[in-house]
Structure 1
Amino acid sequence: MSEKKKSLQQHQVTPVTENPWHKLNDFTDARIGLGRAGVSVPTKHLLAFQLAHAQAIDAVHSTLNIEKLTTDLNKLDWAQACAPDCAPLILHSRAKDRATYLQRPDYGRLLNPESAKKLDEHRVQNTPQYDLAIVVVDGLSSLAVEQNTLPFLQALQTYLVPNSVHPDNTWKLAPLCILEQGRVAIGDDVCERLHASCVLVLVGERPGLSSPDSLGLYLTWGGKVGLTDAYRNCISNIRPAGLSYQEAARKAFYLLNEAHQLKLSGVNLKDRSDDDLINQDRTTKNNFLIA
């Protein structure tokens, strides 16, 4: 190849004009500094956007694989802290199908008659006094529930179930509940029927264009039908690319302990789980926001 031809190839003008802000993409999933092709977005970024949009739609409309999730949850060692019947309870909201669920949010906040009867019968047969009910809800992303529920609960159970690290754990846990076509508030219905002190709802969050697999956690003390979100504490974005399972479990256990001590949750319960870390940074002068 002649030197002239090599020189022309090296100086060939591409149709894409790069944006210097594209370096910020190393620190965030947000679409920053995409550049342009003429007056349009470069094709590769347009295709990536369309893929993310399709993944978000799939997450909303996909059904939860109950059989696989139940098999996964049976791997958890809850037997030392749960009632004698520790098999997950399969429940359903009043939304009979996905279309109804999306159109009638109010139906997703209450149990259907069959599920309500199942919990009432369990309460009568076991006369439980549970410290905590954990409810796994498909929500708006069954993908998030299928991928993140098991590893998160594996991290959380080290705080709740007696083990070599925490042998004095004394939490009495209700059987795990798996709930289809549910919203966050349906945990209050479960909590009230099981007579549990508080409820922890794990739910698939509304997918974003970079996070179709985000799991949310909602804690409510003394859950009962009719409570608003002001009575809940939330931990969101639990997933490998977001808040780690270990960190989410640490924060959840802190809130659970505080809720049990103060007998409340929501706006009156503040998450101060990071105060020790902030104070440590202040002492060592490692926190540039405080130093």
Structure 2
Amino acid sequence: MMAKEISKSNYLQIDPWENLRSLSKARIALGNSGGSLPTREVLSFQEDHAFTKDAIYSDLKEKELLKHLQDFKLPVYQFQTKVSDRKEYLKRPDLGKKLAETSESENGDFDILFILTDGLAADAINERAIPLLKEILPKLNDYKIGLCLVKFGRVAIGDEIAEKLNAKFTAVFIGERPGLSSPKSMGIYTTYEPRSETTDERRNCISNIHENGMSIEKAADLLQYFIKESFRRKISGVKLKASLPNQIDRK
């Protein structure tokens, strides 16, 4: 008796929610092969997991970023936190919130400080911070602005820098914790009147700025809104809700 040919449909079962995959990068409708995942999905997971691990250990391209920051013809400052290397950064989040003792105090008297720091995905800053600054800076001609670059920083590092440079408002650009579908995601945390005792409920967050998430243009719109409203109402954080005009609908 001739062996009966087995069709692909008999051993690889397609998930009925397959069409939903076009709407999300989440791991849904993976299908199955018997009681297991299809090999392609196992390999895809392993690849994305490797990208995520690489993102955590990516390095801030300081020289390149400094050159781009200087091109804006604005005051540029470079700071170092108390963290000595990436391994310590991951183990001691508290040290990433404090400046090294060698950081000198200066009185810049700024309205806004844009602070770039690596966070948990330095490549997000390497690739997206400068394009976003190019989008937002031309819209802020009425403010005195300074630019900062910080190695091994956490969100709260902006508070101490604001005190040193006498700034009224900070926008901290930081690499977010990488996900399996977004290893290079950037976030922006804004704070009005930041000080060393500032707590997180006084911050606004713009999150998921990456190629499959929020666009540079939409992030700039939100950032401009938070800047305008924070200065108008003299607040930031949970008391300030994002309520953009209907005409702003960028993806």
Take 1:149 and 1:92, find their aligned partners in 2: how far apart are those partners?
18
**Structure 2 unaligned runs (5+)?**
none
Q: Rate the CA distance shift 1:130–1:13 in 2: closer, same or farther, 3 A.
A: closer
Which residue does the alignment assign to 1:255? 226
1:67 CA displacement: 1.3
Take 1:72 and 1:24, find their aligned partners in 2: how far apart are those partners?
40
Take 1:150 and 1:135, find their aligned partners in 2: how far apart are those partners?
11
The one-letter code matched in structure 1 to 2:158 is G
Take 1:195 and 1:90, find their aligned partners in 2: how far apart are those partners?
16
SS in 2 for 1:36: coil
Pick the aligned partner of 1:173 from 145, 170, 175: 145
SS in 2 for 1:197: strand
1:96 CA displacement: 1.1
Which residue does the alignment assign to 1:15? 11
Which residue does the alignment assign to 2:81? 93
Q: How does 1:225-236 map to 2 (within 5 A)?
A: 225-236=196-207
Take 2:203 and 2:25, find their aligned partners in 1: how far apart are those partners?
28
Which residue does the alignment assign to 1:144? 124
Between structures 1 and 2, the one with greater strand share: 2
Which residue does the alignment assign to 1:283? none
Q: Identity, % of aligned pairs?
A: 37
Which residue does the alignment assign to 1:286? none
CA contact (8 A) 1:192 1:222 kept: no
SS in 2 for 1:59: helix
Question: Aligned pair 1:52/2:48, yes or no?
Answer: yes
Pick the aligned partner of 1:194 from 140, 143, 165: 165
After superposing on structure 2, the runs of 4+ consecutive aligned residues of structure 1 that deviate more than 2 Å are 11-15, 71-75
Q: Rate the CA distance shift 1:157–1:14 in 2: closer, same or farther, 3 A.
A: farther
Which residue does the alignment assign to 1:243? 214
Take 2:223 and 2:182, find their aligned partners in 1: how far apart are those partners?
21
Partner deviation per Cα, 1:98-118 (whole Å, 9 max, x = no partner): 111111111011111112x1x
The one-letter code matched in structure 1 to 2:39 is T
Which residue does the alignment assign to 2:113? 133
Partner deviation per Cα, 1:233-281 (whole Å, 9 max, x = no partner): 000011221111111101111110110111111111111114x349x9x
SS in 2 for 1:29: coil
Take 1:90 and 1:104, find their aligned partners in 2: how far apart are those partners?
21
Take 2:17 and 2:128, find their aligned partners in 1: how far apart are those partners?
32
- What is the TM-score normalised by the length of structure 2? 0.93
Indicate the RMSD between aligned Cα atoms, in angstroms.
Answer: 2.1
Take 1:185 and 1:178, find their aligned partners in 2: how far apart are those partners?
14
Take 2:9 and 2:195, find their aligned partners in 1: how far apart are those partners?
65
Take 2:224 and 2:233, find their aligned partners in 1: how far apart are those partners?
14
Instruction: Compare CA radii of gyration and give the structure with the larger one.
Output: 1
1:65 CA displacement: 1.6
Take 1:201 and 1:16, find their aligned partners in 2: how far apart are those partners?
47
Between structures 1 and 2, the one with greater helix share: 1
Question: Aligned pair 1:108/2:96, yes or no?
Answer: yes
1:129 CA displacement: 2.3
CA contact (8 A) 1:130 1:197 kept: yes
**Structure 1 unaligned runs (5+)?**
1-6, 161-168, 281-291
SS in 1 for 2:201: helix
- What is the TM-score normalised by the length of structure 1? 0.80
